[in-house]
Structure 1
Amino acid sequence: MGTLKFHIIFSLIFLMSFSSFSQTKEQLELQRKKYRVEITKLNTLLFSEIRKEKNALEELKDIKQKIDVRNKLINTINLEAQLLSKGIRTNQRKLQKLNKSLEDLKADYAAMIYKSYKSKSQQSRTMFLLSSQNFYQAYKRLEYMKQYTSFRKKQGEEILVQAVYIKKLNDSLGYQKRVKDTLILVEKDQKAAIEVDRKKQEGLITTIKKKEGKYKREIQQKVKEEKRIAARIDKIVKEEIASANRLALSKLKDKPAATKKNEFILSPEAKALAAKFELNKGKLPWPIQEGVVVRRFGKQSHPSFPGIIINGTGLHIVTSKGSSANAIFNGEVLNILVGSGGTKNVMIRHGNYITSYNNLENSYVQKGDKIITGQKIGKIFTDKITGKTTLVFVLLQNTNKLDPASWMLRR
């Protein structure tokens, strides 16, 4: 019985450790798949279009982003391979222990079979019983013979169980080794792809260095233009808040003692909507079906000229041509702004929150329209020169800009 308990405990430890290993491995597998999907999206959305005008800075930025994702994928593959190696070593040690245990069992079983064979004749068993000095001793001898037979049977069963464990462990080892070999091949392919991208990157850097002053002036001009547009939008948001507050005050019977500047006065319905919006933080849908974030929120160094700081007021998301922007929550169209190039910016109010969908070719909604989650609000503009379809998505609480990525579902 002690031997059987040992094997049951040993097998439970094996299964528990394998389950823990699988869980961590599963997380890495999901991460690896995510990066592979992202690389596919980058290739589709950033590199599939033939650009009418070559822009070295734009190409360099796109290649850098792809190299970064490939490096993340390689790091994940390395972690997964390390985990598999550790699992293989652990299982090999367990296999050695199981094989030793099986050899001991077989030796014990062989010894029993030999002893049983020597005393297997019915005559010897009968003589063994008849030679008893009394009835009690005969009964005990009979019980011993029964127990001995039962023990032999159990040992035979244990050998079968042990053999099954060893087969499973061998299968597991074989599978893990095949997975590891596949991962090594994937890593090799990714490294080769990075080398190709790095050569392109080096060529672009050489081109940029020849006209560094020109490119820097262009970037600085774009940064100034973005600041000017952001300031204009901030001004319009403040005007819309002031206008909405005047309307709200005219409808309120009990006037508030004081109102904070540049903050919405909320009706009970608006408060409830804002509360629902806040409750959905981290669970809100993305404003596009599929896409790649090419610029994140906040201050950041320019990817080609680290000395130049750019300020991301929201997320710049590249999506496929012909895509529409979708409302991320119920609300009301606060305003529709028209840019210098004719592109539109639809602003939707959700209590004291505002979502802004900028760089639209056209809008499907009008100011004052009630909007529901997921509703299409406009077709995203596709740049004829770069071939990119980019949505600029901004989130505000009153006039305070927030990082949209922390409010939406993780991708």
Structure 2
Amino acid sequence: MNLIRKITIVLTLIFLSAVSFAQSSAELKKQRERLDREISLLNESLKETSSSKALTLKQVNALNTQIQLRERKISTISSEVRLIERQIQDNTQEIKKLEEQLEKLKKDYASMIRFAFRNKNGYNKMMFIFASKDFNQAFKRVKYLQQFSESRKNQAKEIEETQGTIKRKIEELAAAKKEQSALLEVQQAERNKLNGQKSEKSKVVSSFASQEKQYKQEISKKQQESQRLARAIQAAIRREIEAERKRAEEEARLAAAKEAARAKAAGETPKPVETEKPAATAAPKTASGVLSATPEAAKLSNEFMGNRGKLPWPVAQGTITQGFGMHTYGKGVKMENNGVNIRTNSGAAVRAIFNGEVTSVVQMMGAGYAVIIRHGKYFSVYSNLRSVSVSRGTKVTVKQAIGTAATDPDEGTTEVHFELWEGSAPINPTPWLARF
């Protein structure tokens, strides 16, 4: 029974290991498929713009992003290969253990067969029983013979099941080795493509010297657009802060009037009601504090914050071609991004990332429209929209379409610029968004 228990434990461990491997393998495959989609999307946009003689910043960003995605895909494949190698090692060890236990089972079974052969004669069995000292011993000997027969059947069944398990593990081992070989081929192909893209990037970098003036002009134009958008966002936030302060003052005034009326009716001297001091003389209060001062705003802010890392993307499909922060192009050519640029499909719907209220719809010079949505103390900003379907004061829900992404008429690329602000300060939106 100890041996049978050991085999049961081994089989259970094999099952749990297989389940764990399946989950990890599925996650890695899903990640590789997502990277394939993003690379494919950038491939299409690069093909559309490759005929352009002048290299633009969008093309440079797309090429850089494609290289990064390719490197991440190679890294993902490496993780898959390592996982399969561990599975091969585990299966090899498990097969060895099972074969050792099978050999032990066969030896035990052979001993039982020899014993049964020696006592196959019914007369011998009867003599064994009748040779008992008393009825109790005779009963025990009958039970022993029954259990021995049953044990022999169980032992044969265990041998058969163990042989079946070994056969399945050998098949899994062969399949794993085949999958490993296929993945290594894919990885080598990706490395070859990566080397080609890095070579292309080297040519791009060398072209900066001759096109530096053009890039500086393009960056200057984009920075002006960024500054106009930042001013529009800040103006919208100031309006919201001022509205919140006025609301607080009005509530304090109404509370004072109510207290005065109550005191007058009761013949009492009204108690002074503390009102919020004007912004110029009051103790400094942060924009975030003012914007989440009401219970409703505080609740919405907390709900928004509770969804960090789970917020949907502003487009159903896309890839980030330029991240948050400062970016350098060549020597002395820099550009700061207050959000992220997301390459997407032509005509893609742009959607709200969370419940909120539209505070502004701004028409940008040469950059379509921008929509600003408030979520308590947080603001989400969607720009480079061709058209919008909301207006100031519109209540929106998560994933509700608010407009359509604009396509660059010269390059044929479609990018949405997305920003996230906490109070009056921009923050990196990437950690807040869910992974595709």
Tell me the TM-score normalised to structure 2 length: 0.81
Give matches, 1:150-169, under 5 Å.
150-169=150-169
Give matches, 1:128-147, under 5 Å.
128=128, 132=131, 134-135=133-134, 141-147=141-147
Q: Which amino acid aligns with 1:214?
A: K
CA distance in 1 between counterparts of 2:395 and 2:118 reads 95
Give matches, 1:215-234, under 5 Å.
215=214, 217-218=216-217, 221-222=220-221, 224-226=223-225, 228-229=227-228, 232-233=231-232
Q: Which amino acid aligns with 1:315?
A: V
Report the alpha carbon displacement of residue 404 of structure 1 after superposing the two structures with TM.
Answer: 2.1
The corresponding residue for 2:259 is none
CA distance in 2 between counterparts of 1:308 and 1:338 reads 28
Structure 2 CA distance for partners of 1:34 and 1:119, relative to 1, 3 Å: same
The corresponding residue for 1:256 is 276
The corresponding residue for 1:83 is 83
Report the alpha carbon displacement of residue 326 of structure 1 after superposing the two structures with TM.
Answer: 1.7
Q: Is the 8 A contact 1:53 1:386 kept in 2?
A: no
The corresponding residue for 2:407 is 382
Once the two structures are superposed, what CA deviation does each residue of 1:266-309 show, in whole Å capped at 9, x if it has no partner?
A: 55544444444334333332221211111122x2332x427544
Structure 2 CA distance for partners of 1:172 and 1:231, relative to 1, 3 Å: closer
The corresponding residue for 1:278 is 305
Give matches, 1:7-406, under 5 Å.
7-48=7-48, 52=52, 54-55=54-55, 57-128=57-128, 132=131, 134-135=133-134, 141-209=141-209, 211=210, 213-215=212-214, 217-218=216-217, 221-222=220-221, 224-226=223-225, 228-229=227-228, 232-233=231-232, 236-237=235-236, 239-241=238-240, 244-245=243-244, 248=247, 251-254=250-253, 255-259=275-279, 260=284, 263=287, 264=290, 266-297=293-324, 299-302=325-328, 304-305=329-330, 308-341=333-366, 343-406=368-431
Report the alpha carbon displacement of residue 3 of structure 1 after superposing the two structures with TM.
Answer: 1.9
Report the alpha carbon displacement of residue 34 of structure 1 after superposing the two structures with TM.
Answer: 2.5
Report the alpha carbon displacement of residue 147 of structure 1 after superposing the two structures with TM.
Answer: 3.8
5+ unaligned residues in a row in structure 2: which ranges? 254-274
Structure 2 CA distance for partners of 1:152 and 1:285, relative to 1, 3 Å: closer
5+ unaligned residues in a row in structure 1: which ranges? none
Q: Which amino acid aligns with 1:68?
A: Q
Tell me the TM-score normalised to structure 1 length: 0.85
Q: Is the 8 A contact 2:229 2:364 kept in 1?
A: no
Structure 2 CA distance for partners of 1:118 and 1:216, relative to 1, 3 Å: same
Structure 2 CA distance for partners of 1:149 and 1:385, relative to 1, 3 Å: same
Aligned pairs, number: 407
Report the alpha carbon displacement of residue 135 of structure 1 after superposing the two structures with TM.
Answer: 4.5
Once the two structures are superposed, what CA deviation does each residue of 1:170-229 show, in whole Å capped at 9, x if it has no partner?
A: 2322332232222122212322322332343343334334x1543553365346435643
CA distance in 1 between counterparts of 2:100 and 2:356 reads 70
CA distance in 2 between counterparts of 1:18 and 1:93 reads 14
Q: Is the 8 A contact 2:361 2:391 kept in 1?
A: yes
Structure 2 CA distance for partners of 1:378 and 1:50, relative to 1, 3 Å: farther
Q: Is the 8 A contact 2:48 2:411 kept in 1?
A: no
Q: Which amino acid aligns with 1:158?
A: E
Report the alpha carbon displacement of residue 399 of structure 1 after superposing the two structures with TM.
Answer: 1.2
Q: Which amino acid aligns with 1:277?
A: F
Report the alpha carbon displacement of residue 244 of structure 1 after superposing the two structures with TM.
Answer: 2.8
Q: Is the 8 A contact 1:394 1:404 kept in 2?
A: yes
Q: Which amino acid aligns with 1:186?
A: V
CA distance in 1 between counterparts of 2:81 and 2:102 reads 31
CA distance in 2 between counterparts of 1:320 and 1:272 reads 35
CA distance in 2 between counterparts of 1:35 and 1:227 reads 29
Once the two structures are superposed, what CA deviation does each residue of 1:25-57 show, in whole Å capped at 9, x if it has no partner?
A: 333233223222322232244544565554165
Q: 82-91 vs 148-157, which deviates more? A: 148-157
Q: Is the 8 A contact 1:363 1:378 kept in 2?
A: yes
